[in-house]
Structure 1
């Protein structure tokens, strides 16, 4: 797989397990420096979130995430993401994650790159 660059890419969640707090109105803004990635995210259930991680040699992503939800709880977790490229050229990340607080449950999700930046809803 060709190397994917994530700097200034914007994503929207399209799939998530029932025990997650991300939904299809959750938006992510990724940045990259070398093999380090970081992002901010927010949505109806998440007031503010951040993630920090690395791009592995095989192209997968590993990162920790944390966010403040609507109940003012700080939620944390760990995620491994496998990238692919959709037919329209958008980056898709298939994620396997686990909460590191709360019930410690795990789940899966997918986020897809927003090809048209006007669909991105910034934090106001």
Structure 2
């Protein structure tokens, strides 16, 4: 099992569609006893939150966000925690919007200290 996510900051490796997270979005994770949460903001996202669970190297969470255009969106995501060659963590995400149409995959990586 990969290291704890607690206190780590992640950023997407690529931009998504407008109104979604992008390379300027930052996620600050918190983890304790199999529970995970994160706050995120940046780019088109004014503020966002995710809450869920971690079992081994799999995260399962719901997310909700307020966008710069004043709209809100929510969805579900399952992420696989992997370790990069340099020791940083990467989350490989499979997500589905619940408040609108759409689904996809993405990745976020731990920022260097």
Q: Could you tell me the TM-score, scaled by structure 2's length?
A: 0.93
Point out 4+ residue stretches in structure 1 off by more than 2 angstroms: 15-20
Q: Which residue of structure 2 lines up, in the alignment, with residue 119 of structure 1?
A: none
Is 1:113 matched with 2:110? yes
Choose from 74, 77, 81 the match for 1:76.
74
Q: Which residue of structure 2 lines up, in the alignment, with residue 65 of structure 1?
A: 63
Offset at 1:85? 0.5
The answer (yes or no) to whether the contact 1:17–1:107 under 8 Å persists in 2 is no
Other structure's SS at 1:47 match: strand
For residues 56-98 of structure 1, give each alpha carbon's deviation from its aligned partner in whole angstroms, at most 9, with x where no partner exists.
Answer: 2x42000000000011111000000011111110100000000
Structure 1: gaps spanning 5 or more residues: 117-124
CA gap 1:70/1:20 in 2 versus in 1, 3 angstroms: closer
Distance 1:11 1:88 in 2: 15
Offset at 1:5? 0.4
Q: Which residue of structure 1 lines up, in the alignment, with residue 86 of structure 2?
A: 88
CA gap 1:49/1:61 in 2 versus in 1, 3 angstroms: same
Offset at 1:4? 2.3
Task: Compute the RMSD of aligned alpha carbons.
Answer: 1.5
The structure in which a higher percent of residues are strand is 2
Offset at 1:16? 5.1
For residues 11-66 of structure 1, give each alpha carbon's deviation from its aligned partner in whole angstroms, at most 9, with x where no partner exists.
Answer: 0111355477111111000001110000000011000000000002x420000000
Structure 2: gaps spanning 5 or more residues: none
Q: Which residue of structure 2 lines up, in the alignment, with residue 40 of structure 1?
A: 39
Q: Which residue of structure 2 lines up, in the alignment, with residue 51 of structure 1?
A: 50
